[in-house]
Amino acid sequence: MFDARRAFVESLPATCQVCAAWPAQPVCEACIQRYAQPRARCRSCASVLPGEPGLCGACLTRAGAPAVGHCVAAVDYAYPWDGLIARFKFRSEPGWAKPFAQRLLQVPQTLPLLQTQPLVVPIPLTAVRLGERGYNQAWELVKALRTQCRRHPTTPPCETLATALVRLGETPDQHSLGRDARLRNLRGVFAAHPSHAHQLSGRHVLLVDDVTTTGATLHTAAQALLQAGAARVSALVFARTAPSR
């Protein structure tokens, strides 16, 4: 049915959804300058570092090679991005994928990752959650990245695989848990899709997600990809929570 009010609202000039400046992109340049300043981040978990980029204390002391070799995040999970991500995920506004992908491509570390021509793979939702939401926000981000790469002069085409991973179960609310408890909760939650194993073999896989908190989800998904034959795994996330736990 034709919705006159909605049609009217959509015909208005776009305004910045943070400061209401108009006409503007969904987030205007002034707000990007203000809220998306580049940060020195841990190479492995993308937590903010006080000085030069490198590895954070937690990643330095963790035994063994990290499953995610390199993790790039665009912004801190804080105002205004936390509210915009909630709209992206929970209020049926998948269109935020485009401005978020544009921000990700402006992070200096993103382009070198994409230039290695990785297989770009979203963190999946369970079938139940996907049915409820109607879309996987991580896959929306992957598709928006692919579109932006096509337009970008120095980025090779972005090869994507939506169903490389399957999510076998929901995880209980993880908000109050530290990384070790989260890792225990996530055991066995992700598996490489058996029919795509040959596409993962020997590949550099780039995992994409909207938010990372402790990196436990990315780590568990990366382990499943490595077990299925991926040569190495990196990650691209829009927002990283702070501080690292």
Interaction of residue 212 with Zn ion, rule CB under 5 A: no
Closest approach, Cβ 154 to Zn ion, in A, equals 28
Interaction of residue 214 with Zn ion, rule CB under 5 A: no
Interaction of residue 45 with Zn ion, rule CB under 5 A: yes
Judged by CB under 5 A, the residue of 3, 4, 15, 21 near Zn ion is 21
Q: Which positions ≥6 away from 106 have C-beta within 8 Å?
A: 74
The strand pairing partners of 236, in sequence order, are 72, 208
Closest approach, Cβ 194 to Zn ion, in A, equals 32
Count of residues touching Zn ion (by CB under 5 A): 11
Judged by CB under 5 A, the residue of 26, 41, 42, 158 near Zn ion is 42
Cis peptide before 23 (omega within 30 of 0): yes
Q: How many CB atoms lie within 10 A of CB 166?
A: 16
Closest approach, Cβ 191 to Zn ion, in A, equals 26
The strand pairing partners of 233, in sequence order, are 205
Q: How many helices (H) and strands (E) does the chain have?
A: 11, 7
CA 68 to chain centroid, in Å, comes to 13
- 63-85 burial, b at 16+ Cβ within 10 Å, e below that, comes to eeebbbebbbbbbbbeebbeebb
Binding mask 56-75 for Zn ion (x = CB under 5 A): x--x----------------
- Measured CA to CA, the distance from residue 141 to residue 124 in angstroms comes to 12
- Measured CA to CA, the distance from residue 204 to residue 233 in angstroms comes to 6
Interaction of residue 104 with Zn ion, rule CB under 5 A: no
- Measured CA to CA, the distance from residue 84 to residue 242 in angstroms comes to 17
| Of 27-35, 84-92, 133-141, 168-176: span binding Zn ion (CB under 5 A) | 27-35
Judged by CB under 5 A, the residue of 26, 28, 67, 182 near Zn ion is 28
Interaction of residue 31 with Zn ion, rule CB under 5 A: yes
Rg (alpha carbons) of the chain, rounded to whole number: 18
| Of 48-56, 82-90, 140-148, 184-192: span binding Zn ion (CB under 5 A) | 48-56
| Of 8-16, 100-108, 174-182, 227-235: span binding Zn ion (CB under 5 A) | 8-16
CB 160 within 8 A of CB 143: yes
| Of 51-59, 61-69, 133-141, 160-168: span binding Zn ion (CB under 5 A) | 51-59
Interaction of residue 32 with Zn ion, rule CB under 5 A: no
Closest approach, Cβ 243 to Zn ion, in A, equals 11
- Measured CA to CA, the distance from residue 139 to residue 3 in angstroms comes to 29
Residues that bind Zn ion (CB under 5 A): 16, 18-19, 21, 28, 31, 42, 44-45, 56, 59
